A and B are shown apart, each in its own frame.
Chain A
Amino acid sequence: MKPNAEDRRLATEDRLRAALAARAALVTHRDLRRDAPPQGRSWGVHRVRRMAFAALGVAAAVVTVCLLVLLPDSPLDPAPVPPASTPGIDEPLPATSPRPVGPSGPDPSVTSRS
């Protein structure tokens, strides 16, 4: 901005401030109605809403904990582990060794008919 334009701008700002102050000064307390300040609850809507949300949160937390504790199959109340099964029933059979061939007896597969 050029110096001349700057001066003009400053002069306009000064005139504006002076005009606003002059008009504002024409209004005093004596010109105002005798209105009383608004009366109402000490707590505003915002605070009531905050408290309501906090109460809801606490209630939700309590309900959640109760559900976790009381419901069956909950992680806090695991189902009882069944007793171990008797050994032997489910045990795998021991590996069978190849049938021993007796040294005295003849091999039945090679017996010839007489």
Chain B
Amino acid sequence: MQYAIPTAPPWWSRLFSRMPRTEDAPEWGHRLRLGTPYDDEPPPTLTELYQARRLDMVRLALFLVDDLHTAEDVVQDAFAAVCRSHGTSLDGLRDPGAYLHTAVVNAARSVLRRRRTARAYTPPHQGYGPPVDEGLLLAEEHRQVLDAMAQLTQRQREVLVLRYWSELTEAQIAQTLGLSRGTVKSTASRALDVLEKKLGAGP
């Protein structure tokens, strides 16, 4: 079987041990944490990274671009960029998780930039949008929060998603987004202020 579970888990599977596991990817757990460069053991291959991180990266991209099909394209593009730069062996990549985060965020930014450009010439395109049943499945309070988040600026959304969903530190967010730590801190604080106001003013 091509993707058989190895008898002895690779060294980096320890990185997943503290994270909650999804029901669909039991073999390697939830995520490859940032800031955990390998020292003397070989890094995961691109295929291993793809299997372990694709779902999380799609979810991250979904928060940034707002529809699943585009999010999947974004993640595929990001993995293709990683493959071009570092090959399938990921040789020379000290922190694949951090690199992947940055690649996904950059690919999502490119999509949003193209959307803005297209919007200047064509009528607004609604995209695929969330699944029809998403509104039914999400609790009302969650929908309020997500609606309020949709009104934030792109940078504010990026910072909040990386902080409160990817659980990155300020330093890691700064590295991922190419900002200073101070900017990350102030952006997060301002974004939370806006959210508080919107949620407080809501029904």
Where the two chains meet, the residues of A that have a C-beta atom closer than 8 Å to any C-beta of B are 8-9, 12-13, 15-24, 26-33, 35, 37-47, 50
Contacts and interface: CB of A to CB of B under 8 A. Distances in A.
Contacts, number: 121
Contacts of B83: 38-40, 44
Interface string B38-53: 0000000011001100
Interface stretch (B5-13, B21-29, B116-124): B21-29
Contacts of A8: 196
B146 interface: yes
A42 B164 contact: no
A28 B56 CA distance: 9
Interface string B63-99: 1000010001000100110111111111110000000
A28 B192 contact: no
A28 B24 contact: yes
B51 A26 contact: no
Given A27-B55, A38-B83, A44-B84, A20 B91 contact: no
A61 to B, nearest CB: 23
Interface residues of B, number: 49
A90 B25 CA distance: 97
Interface stretch (B105-113, B135-143, B169-177): B135-143
A33 B131 CA distance: 15
Contacts of A24: 59, 62-63, 165
Contacts of A29: 22, 24-25, 55
Interface centre among A19, A22, A47 (most CB of B within 10 A): A19
